[in-house]
Amino acid sequence: MKHVLNLYVLGVVLALLSIFVRVMESLESLVESPSAGNSWSTRGQLAGAEPPKGLPDPPSRGMR
């Protein structure tokens, strides 16, 4: 029974730690760029900043 209680307490501590880390990350993003909005929009902007590189065009085969 004591082991189950220890696992429960460990789960609660990990959940609280996860919430604390998320709050600190959101506060950090607000301090760094308050006009950018939430962290999801800035991540999306960073992902779309560089266009994806496709395969180079295949050489033409005798097309004149």
The per-residue pLDDT for 41 is 53
pLDDT tens string 41-50: 555 555 555 6
pLDDT tens string 27-64: 988 888 755 555 555 555 555 556 556 767 777 776 65
Residues sharing a CB contact under 8 Å with residue 38, sequence separation 6 or more, in sequence order: 26, 29
Query: For the chain, which residues make up each domain, given as ranges?
Result: 1-28
| Tokens at 20, concatenated | 């604390």
- Per-residue pLDDT for 1 more than 80? yes
The per-residue pLDDT for 31 is 84
What pTM was computed for the model? 0.46
